[in-house]
Amino acid sequence: MSAALKDELDRLREGHLYRSRRVVEAGQGVHLQVDGRRVTAFCSNDYLGLANHPSLIAALKRGVDKYGVGSGAAHLVTGHSAAHHALEEELADFLGRPRVLLFSTGYMANLGVISALVGRADQVFEDRLNHASLLDGALLSRSRLRRYPHADSGALLRMLGEGGVSLIATDGVFSMDGDLAPLPELAAVAQRAGAALMVDDAHGIGVLGRDGRGSLDHFRLGLEQASILVGTLGKAVGTFGAFAAGSDALIETLIQRARSYIYTTAPPPAVAEATRASLVLVRRDDWRRERLAELVQRFRRVAGQLGLPLLDSPTPIQPIVAGSAERALAWSQALEKRGILVSAIRPPTVPEGSARLRITFSAAHSDEDLERLLEALAELPACEVA
């Protein structure tokens, strides 16, 4: 087996698809010490700049003093603390949904929700660019997974006419392209077909909508249009974990059936306390979202003048398409030599021929940070790498 594994690893290296970890030597932020070198990072999902905020750090310390470090057990045994319960209630109030259920990660949330709600006799319709966790959730459920062309509600409607349906699942903001799903159209299709609509808003919560309530609120859609909302807490919220939000019946069903909720240790209560502190800032600090919008607008204007191949994204996710994995990797390495950290995103994360730099902005980025990024991008070796 070892020889076969080595051959596969060699194949990945030759195809410029090998992935390597970096060691970050200090707390999260836009300026990092990585592998012994100071860099400015434009690849984090800490959109609001909260991951190292003093209020969150203080809340985490208070939580440790009160609850200790570990939760000790699954939520359904002795792991569901008062901190977890309070966070669920505060998230439900924030999102305007009857109830919320915490999960350890966004991946586990999508696996648990989909596999709890559908089975062999059902169909799940998903956007072709959905996050891997949504696709894997459908596969784990043993339902029939059907994928419609990206953001094409018309194609979805035609596919729905071919047979029964149970669930339509989509990202709210697509993590590698940065564009928004056409949620009003998808909601109309779901209602016409009698299907449930599930939205994974990992990259919308905290960034879009009133007070950062996400992409559904951005389009003024509620529980009646999208009955299942999933979100993460490790991106704009700046902590760790995830949640599912919906009706009382939905949450009770997940408590009884979602295996990735039932059979895993609950997150540390102290993290829930830090998230409660973060939620206050998410709701209050509109200036963080305003700053993000300003950075994105300025970046897109100048990048357009430079002729960079941008995708059409209104969010803090700003991809620059390189095409080949080799070119994307060369661009990333060229930026890193100038102290700018931007990851090269390559297949299978994105389709063949669409490798890219995935630039992400944080409200903590300064005007000087943006200028340094644009100067470095202007000098990318655009033609040297095929």
Q: pLDDT-derived band of residue 18, with 50, 70 and 90 as boundaries?
A: confident
| CA 373/CA 361 separation, integer angstroms | 11
What pLDDT does residue 17 have?
A: 87
Contact between 362 and 317 under an 8 Å Cβ cutoff? The reply is no
Structure tokens at 123: 């169909």
pLDDT(127) > 90 = yes
Catalytic residue among 203, 227, 313, 354: 203
Question: Residue 21's pLDDT band (boundaries 50, 70, 90)?
Answer: confident
Predicted pLDDT at 386: 36
- For residues 47 and 361, is the Cβ–Cβ distance under 8 A? yes
User: What are the residues whose beta carbons fall under 8 Å from the beta carbon of 316, sequence distance 6 or more?
Assistant: 47, 178, 207, 292, 295, 296, 360, 361, 362
Alpha-carbon separation of residue 133 from 111, 165, 252 (angstroms): 6, 20, 22
Whether the CB-CB separation of 242 and 229 falls below 8 Å is answered with no
End-to-end CA distance of the chain: 34
Q: Output the pLDDT for position 312.
A: 93
Q: What is the pLDDT of residues 212-261, one digit of tens each?
A: 999 999 999 999 999 999 999 999 999 999 999 999 999 999 999 999 99
81, 115, 175, 227: the active-site residue = 175
pLDDT at 383: 40
Up-side HSE of residue 29: CA atoms within 13 Å toward CB?
Answer: 13
Judge whether 235 counts as a catalytic residue.
yes
State the Cα–Cα distance between residues 106 and 240, nearest whole angstrom. 9
Q: Please pick, among 16, 53, 75, 235, the residue that the annotation labels catalytic.
A: 235
Highest mean pLDDT among 17-21, 342-346, 365-369: 365-369
pLDDT one-digit tens code per residue, 273-283: 999 999 999 99
What is the arithmetic mean of pLDDT over 78-96? Answer: 98
What rounded mean pLDDT belongs to the chain?
95
pLDDT at 385: 36
The dotted CATH code for 54-284 is 3.40.640.10
Let me know: does 227 contact 250? Beta carbons within 8 Å: yes
Instruction: Pick the range with the lowest mean pLDDT from 2-11, 258-267, 297-306, 354-363.
Output: 2-11
66 is catalytic: no
pLDDT at 382: 60
Confidence band (pLDDT; 50, 70, 90) for 165?
Answer: confident
Q: In a 3-state reduction of DSSP, which class is residue 314?
A: coil
Residue boundaries of the structural domains of the chain? 16-48+286-378, 54-284
Contact indicator for 255, 101 with CB cutoff of 8 Å: yes
Q: Which of 65-74, 159-168, 312-321 shows the lowest mean pLDDT across its residues?
A: 159-168
- In the predicted structure, residue 209 carries a pLDDT above the cut 90: yes
Say if residue 384's pLDDT is above 50.
no
The two tokens of residue 188 are: 């109309």
The phi, psi pair for 310, rounded to 5°, reads: -80, 150
Check residue 26 and give its pLDDT: 83
The first and second tokens of residue 365, run together, are 């980025």
Backbone φ/ψ region at 151: left (φ over 0), alpha (ψ -120 to 50), beta:
left
The architecture that CATH gives domain 16-48+286-378 is: Alpha-Beta Complex (3.90)
Measured distance CA(77)–CA(215) in Å, rounded: 34
